[in-house]
Each structure stands twice: as structure tokens, then as C-alpha cells.
Amino acid sequence: MRDIQKKSPQKKIINLNHEIKDKIFSTKKTLDISKPQLKPYSLDLTELQKKSSDIVSTKKIENTYSFKECKHPGLYKSIKFFLICLIFLIPLESINVFYKALEIKNSLVENAFAAIENVKNIPENFNGTNFSDIYENFQSANKQLLKADKNIWFLKPGMYLNDTNKDIFKTVNDFVLSGKMLTEAGIYFGNSLPQIYDISLEVIKSFNQEEKGIEKSLTSELEESFKNIQNGFDKVKSSNELISKANFKVLPKEYQNKFIKAKDHLQTLTTLSNEIQQYFPAFLNMLGDRYPRRYLVLFANNNEQRAIMGFLGSGMILEFNDGYITQNQVFDIYEIDGQIVENTPLPKVFETITGNWGVRDSNYSPSGQISAKNAASLYEKAGREGVDGVIFIDLEVFKRVLEIIGEVEISSLPQKINHQNFDQVLSYIIESKIEGQNDPKKVLKNLTPIIFKKLAEEKKWFALTSIFPELVKGKHIIAYSKIEEIENLFSYLGIDGKVINPQEKQDYLSVINTSISGNKSDYYMREKIDTKTHISSEGIITNELTIERSHNFNAEAEKNLISIAENFNLPPLTPELKKILGAGDNKVSVRVYVPMNSRLKKIEGKNKEEIEIKYDEELNLTYFQTEIITKAGEKQKVKFVYETPFKLNFNNNPHIDDYIFTVQNQPGSRNTIFIKSISLDPKLKVFEKMSTKTLQYEDKQIKISSILDSDINLGLVVGK
């Protein structure tokens, strides 16, 4: 039995680039616009700010942003879950970026750069199995760097002509030695990779093993293999220590920025190494290292939206013990809900469509943690054994996995399932109950083991690393664990699905739709969220929010459903079945989450009595609630005009304040366009601006227009 130390996520200050006067201005006091941030940020206005003058003042101000991340990773952290198994790729990519741009003509270091040529193309060429090629490339790179080190013997201390040359030669020498250490780290990683790969295959294969006996501990083997990884990390840290002390200012100016960029990349690699070491014990814990771990996996159909992804029609109990999958029971959600005897109060949003609360409606809150706790509690109230965690996944996950493994054959179907037809075929089978009245979701029971089998036999599990970041960004995977160490890991990976708690003076928006129409019409819905923000000279912030929903079911969609029925030998498309599969009215309960105590001033497209203003105690946010009904082929609009509960303060010298805004996307949502434009009173100027999406400038307005597939952050320094 191994002791696993608990550690919490590290707090970081993230550097970023942002636009000033159509140029890129870099600072350590800014928000990272290249990565989506799911947490609020604090502003520290302490440094001299460059002046700009597009819709901005020409005054010089002594202020700038410092957005501090609040213990929540951005998109780049999500892939680190798989880097535990594939960590060797990090030094490869780092080396590639580290040396790629450098073109120093001095023959003394050309051997070092030649060595890098053997490494730089490895990441894109690695297919998950060519371990010998990887190892040989590292060995070759290491030998060439050793050669470079020998060739610059006369650069050693005491052999310099003058102090200037001494500093230059030492910097070059340290650069070469640092690269040599990185290749040594890569050799350590390369030695461990085949073992980690084989262990990972054993985990995946165990899903379909009939005999669930445990002959050896996979987590113990993984821990043993990780020792070489740790040796590699030590080399990375030594390389970083060497480079961090180098004096790049002595180099010619044309090389200084390149070397500094290389230094920054190595620092990032070192930080990543530290983080993986920190969370690796939690990874083992998740796989049932010391104790078996049991998870409730819930499959969400986002063609019928819920606050978290979609309707929970089925699920699976997934149990790990020493790294093996020892249980993988797929079930219909109504099997569970039918056994709940305790009368639990129903969330109001569902009062009109159901009489009792079950696991199927547990995901009413946009908070992944709250919805997961609801699901676990209701599951246990059905008399089932408790779980250590809950995982939500939606149809997008299945579609992306099918895109990797290719089409699959299910014995009960005449045609193969692929990523293009999967969700509609599944919905047709379930709603027509082709698999039987008592088990309409049998197709998922058949499909799940096939997916695991193909991932193992065709060795395509490695490709999952390519889709994981996008699935995390779109919140198509959300996980929660009552085990603190594992929950911290989920938070680090960005899959905890937390709703941010806005700062005292932070504007916030999240539009959450819950289908109450009892059909799959959300598949055909397109949504546009357009918010116009005006900041007055007194600092009053007024938001004009328009939600436009379009129902795009048409003759072509009907023709496609008829084709599915014919190709898969399914029942004919009756008028009633057509309504259920998407032609019916789309009816949603809409919750518009805004800062607490925001004041609704005006409503258009709805009568005043059709709007409810409520307070969510769990999220500490105000929300406006209404219903929107959209018929096939039509559009509906609702406009909310409201003021934030806070004002910007332009009274203090130098008469500036910060406008911070975050919009969070609904987990699992698709086909939503987000537009935000900001206009100012003529007396006001923008001194600084930054965003996680590209900023546009139209008619003296700052504007963002983007698909809302991730959270978006925006910051401005506004003043007179």
C-alpha cells in the first residue's frame, strides 16, 4: 500500500499578448489571450502603460493590467491528463520550438543545431508505436550535442580573449549544454514510453475481459515506469537552471529575442514537469491504486438540452482496481429512477414536465459539481452502491471517438455506424424503440465495448490525445469526485465544470437553455447571443442582450430521416415520430445568468409577466428566466436591457477604471454565435484592451464575434 501525498493546484501569473493600436504589446501584467480562462481575474494597476490612440486617449497613464489566474487552468492544461502517459512529447516539441528559428552562422554551434534537426520532426511523425525511431533520434541528437560540446573546448573558462567574448562564449556553451541535457531527458522518456504504452493498452483491454481477476497491479507498474520519467524531469530542471542564468544581452540583437523565447519555453516545460509530478499520484488514485474507485458515467443527449449537456438517458458504472476496469455495466436511466422511493423536491424548471425527480434530471444546474452531486445522491437513493465520482459525457465525445476509430458494425443493424450518422441513428432507434420497449437503449450497450475493443486492437487510443483539448474546451466532458485529491486533478485538467464566482466589479453572462419540449429538436436549433454594452461618463454599465433562436428543420432534414429509416431498416417516419425527432416545436426554459443584483430595465419580445427575476443561492448569481417557443422554419427573439449592480469610478486621479467581462458557454452546447460590442460616452477613452478572442473595431465600438465554444474573457482600462 502506497501513501499518496495530497497536493493542491499551483497558482500562476500568466503572461499574454494583447493589441494596442493594431500592434502586439507584450507584458507580464496581462491576460493570456491565447488560452481560454474559466476563472475571474484581479487587476493590479501598478505599472507605466504605453499610450495609444485609436478610440483611445493619447494621455500617458501609470496603469496596466495584471490578470491573476484563480486556480483554474486554461485550455492548454487539459491535454496534460494524457501527457502523464506521453510526457516525452513535451521535450520534443520544446526542443523543436527552442531551436527552430535560430540560424546562427558560427560553425562552433552548427553541430548543436544539426542535432536538433533529428528531433524537431518527431512529434508530428510519432504514431504511437514507433518507439525505436524515437529512441534512436534522441540518441543521435545527444551524440551530436556531445560533439558540439567537444568542438568548443576553447570556450572554457580561462581561454577567452576579453570579457565580452567570454560572456558570449559562455552563453553559447550553456545553450549547447542545455540542449544536451534535454536530449538526455528525452532518452529517459523514450525508455519509459514502451512500458507506459503497454500498460495503457492493458487498461483499455480490461474493459472487455470476461475474467476480472487481477494478476498484477497495473498502477504499480505505471508507478515504476514513472521513475524514469522523473529522472528525465531532473534533467529538464537542470537544463532550465543553466539557461535561466545565461546572459543573453551580450549576444547580437538579432539573436537576443530568439534566445529569450527559447528560455521562456524551457521555463514552461519545467513548470509543466513540476505539475505532472504533483498530480501523478492523483492519477494513480483515480485508477484505483490503493482502493477500488467507482464512477457513475452518465451519457447526455445534447439534442435535448439540459443545463449540463443534455437529457441523461443512460449511464454506466465504471470501476477501477489497480488500474483494471473491473466493472462496466451500462444501464437505462429509468432502471434507476424507477427504484427511487423517496419523494425528493423537484427543481422548478421541471415541474411542468415530470412529477418526480430522478437521475435523468439531476443536471439542472450549470455547475458540474452541483449536478454531479445531485446525480450521485439520487443514484444512491435508488438503493445502489455509492460512487467516488460522476462523469458526464455527451454525443460529441462518441462522434469524435468514432471519427478516430472509423465506422463500427453492430450486429442488430444492417449498416455500419460512423461519426456522421451516429447521433441521428441513435435517436431514431431509441425513439422508435426498435430495440424493444423494455430496452430501447440497447444500442449503447452494444456500441461501448466495440469502441474499447477497436481502440485496443487497432492501437488507436493514442489518437485520443488529439481530441481531448477540444472536448474539454466545449465542456463535452465534465467530471467530479468526492475524493479531494482526484477532484483537484479534474480541476487541473479543466473538466470540473465549475461556474465562476465573479469579482465585486466584474460583468458576467451565461445563457442556459433547458429543453422542456420532450423532443430532439435542439439538433436543428441555431442560437445567436448578441450583447451591446454601453458605458456612460458616470460609469453606469448598461447591457442590451438579444437572444435569437432559429429552428432549421426543413424538407431536407425530413428527407435525411427517411433515408436513415430505409438504410437501417427502421420503422417508417410517422408524423408523430417526425415531431419527436426534431420537427416539433422547440420549447426551452432560458436562464440568463448575470451579476448578483443586476437590474432589469426593459424587455422586448415577451410580456413583463413572462419574465421571472430570481437569485441562484448555489451560484450567487441573479438570473432572468423565461420560455421561448420556436416552430420549425421560424425565428424567435427576446431582448433584455439591464444595468450591472456596480459602476466604474472615474473620480479618482487619474480618472480611470477597469471593465472586466466573462461569458461562459453552456456545457455541451453547439451552434451558438456570441457577439459583444462595447460603446463609450464621447467623454471616455479606452487606454488598454485585451481579450481571449480577436477584437474588432467598427463604428467606434470594440467588438467580439465568435462561436461560443469556450469561455471568453475581455478587459478594458477606461477613463477620461
Query: 110-117 vs 163-205: helix axis angle to the nearest 10?
Result: 10
Q: Closest Cα partner for 483 from 248, 636, 712, 295?
A: 295
pLDDT confidence tier of residue 150, bands split at 50, 70 and 90: low
In this prediction, residue 144 carries a pLDDT of 59
Cβ atoms within 10 A of the Cβ of 477, count?
25
* Mean of pLDDT values over 528-534: 98
Where do you find CATH 3.40.630 in the chain? 293-493
Where do you find CATH 2.60.40 in the chain? 507-719
Q: Collapsing DSSP states into helix, strand and coil, what is residue 568? A: coil
Q: pLDDT tens digits, residue range 653-680?
A: 788 999 999 999 999 998 999 999 999 9
Q: Closest Cα partner for 92 from 269, 314, 343?
A: 269
Higher pLDDT, 601 or 271: 601
Bridge partners, 216 (sequence order): none
In this prediction, residue 85 carries a pLDDT of 37
In this prediction, residue 136 carries a pLDDT of 61
In this prediction, residue 253 carries a pLDDT of 74
In this prediction, residue 141 carries a pLDDT of 58
The type of residue at 112 is A
Q: pLDDT tens digits, residue range 32-71?
A: 434 434 443 333 333 333 333 344 444 444 433 344 444 4
- Whether residue 228 is predicted with pLDDT greater than 70 in this model: the reply is yes
In this prediction, residue 133 carries a pLDDT of 58
b/e map of 358-395 (b: 16 or more CB within 10 Å)?
A: bbbbbbbbbbbbbbbbbbbebbebbebeebbbbbbbbb
In this prediction, residue 25 carries a pLDDT of 31
pLDDT confidence tier of residue 208, bands split at 50, 70 and 90: confident
Q: Are the C-beta atoms of 174 and 245 separated by less than 8 Å? A: yes
User: What is the 3-state secondary structure of 361-405?
Assistant: HCCCCCCHHHHHHHHHHHHHHCCCCCCCEEEEEEHHHHHHHHHHH
Sign of the Cα torsion 197, 199, 203, 209 reads positive
pLDDT confidence tier of residue 160, bands split at 50, 70 and 90: very low
* CA–CA gap between residue 391 and residue 471 (Å, rounded): 13
Name, in order, each residue with C-beta under 8 angstroms of 357's C-beta and a sequence gap of 6 or more: 340, 344, 345, 346, 347, 350, 378
Whole-angstrom CA distances from 373 to 286, 366, 382, 392, 467 are 18, 12, 14, 12, 27
Whole-angstrom CA distances from 31 to 12, 19, 686 are 12, 12, 17
Q: pLDDT tens digits, residue range 336-368?
A: 988 887 777 777 666 666 667 889 999 999 999
Share of the chain above pLDDT 70, in %: 73
* Pairing mode of beta strands 525-535, 672-680: parallel
Q: Closest Cα partner for 102 from 259, 315, 213?
A: 259
Supply 662's cell numbers: 466573462
* CA–CA gap between residue 443 and residue 428 (Å, rounded): 11
Place of cell 422511493: 341
| Numbers of helices and strands, H then E, in the chain | 18, 21
In this prediction, residue 138 carries a pLDDT of 58
In this prediction, residue 192 carries a pLDDT of 81
**pTM value surpassing 0.85:** no
Q: pLDDT tens digits, residue range 97-149?
A: 333 333 333 444 444 444 444 434 444 455 555 555 555 665 665 665 555 55
Share of the chain above pLDDT 90, in %: 47
In this prediction, residue 653 carries a pLDDT of 79
Average pLDDT, the chain: 78
Using alpha carbons only, give the angle 544, 550, 552 rounded to the nearest 5 degrees: 165
The CATH architecture of the domain made up of 293-493 is 3-Layer(aba) Sandwich (3.40)
* CATH of segment(s) 507-719: 2.60.40
Whole-angstrom CA distances from 456 to 84, 422, 483 are 19, 21, 29
- CA trace torsion 68, 71, 75, 79 (10° rounding): 140
b/e map of 182-214 (b: 16 or more CB within 10 Å)?
A: bbbbbbbbbbbbebbbebbbbbbbbbeeeeeee
Q: Residue 18, CB half-sphere, CA atoms under 13 Å: how many?
A: 31
The conformational region for residue 294 under phi > 0 = left, psi -120 to 50 = alpha, else beta, is beta
* Mean of pLDDT values over 289-299: 95
In this prediction, residue 212 carries a pLDDT of 59
pLDDT confidence tier of residue 413, bands split at 50, 70 and 90: confident
Residue-by-residue DSSP string for 196-223: HHHHHHHHHHGGG-S----SS-HHHHHH
Q: pLDDT tens digits, residue range 548-594?
A: 999 999 999 999 999 999 999 999 999 999 999 999 999 999 999 99
* CA–CA gap between residue 275 and residue 189 (Å, rounded): 16
In this prediction, residue 284 carries a pLDDT of 95
Q: Closest Cα partner for 44 from 87, 13, 85?
A: 13
In this prediction, residue 352 carries a pLDDT of 61
Whole-angstrom CA distances from 178 to 148, 239, 246, 540, 610 are 12, 5, 11, 54, 66
* CA–CA gap between residue 613 and residue 378 (Å, rounded): 28
Q: Collapsing DSSP states into helix, strand and coil, what is residue 328? A: strand
In this prediction, residue 437 carries a pLDDT of 46
The type of residue at 574 is T
* CA–CA gap between residue 230 and residue 224 (Å, rounded): 10
* CA–CA gap between residue 589 and residue 364 (Å, rounded): 11
